[in-house]
Amino acid sequence: MHMTNTLLDERERNLLQWRSRRGLVENDIFIGQFFATYGDQLTRRHAAGLSALMDLADNDLLDLFLARKEPEGALDTEEIKEVLELVRKRQPGSLSHVG
């Protein structure tokens, strides 16, 4: 069963948010705003993209958040690009307008 557009339940969302805590304050600000804006709308697809980003070193992640770099290689996926687009907006909005 393909569940990428299934919304995360509260427990899954809380675990993802906890896993997304970073050592660099700037990344935490971006991530905090992302969860504050989109948390209740996140899907398994978004979780996959965000989880992949969380495997990066803090400085590489910040470069992507600030659009100093774009995702390349294994990071060049639709899920990651969608999450980055949402993070970069840094304003309230709806996921229904993305992807």
* pLDDT at 93 exceeding the cut of 70: no
* Within a domain: 70: yes
* Within a domain: 58: yes
Distance from C-alpha of 78 to C-alpha of 54, rounded to nearest angstrom: 16
User: Is 57 or 3 the better-scoring residue by pLDDT?
Assistant: 57
DSSP state of 6: S
- Read off the pLDDT of residues 61-71 as tens digits, 9 standing for 90 and up: 999 999 999 99
* Within a domain: 83: yes
Domain range for residue 21? 10-90
- Read off the pLDDT of residues 22-51 as tens digits, 9 standing for 90 and up: 999 999 999 999 999 999 999 999 999 999
Q: What is the pTM of this model?
A: 0.85
The count of structural domains within the chain is 1
Indicate which CATH number applies to the domain containing 34: 1.10.150.250
3-state secondary structure 12-76: HHHHHHHHCCCCCHHHHHHHHHHHHHHHHHCEHHHHHHHHHHHCCCHHHHHHHHCCCCCCCHHHC
* Within a domain: 1: no
* Within a domain: 62: yes
* Within a domain: 52: yes
* Within a domain: 45: yes
Distance from C-alpha of 79 to C-alpha of 75, rounded to nearest angstrom: 9
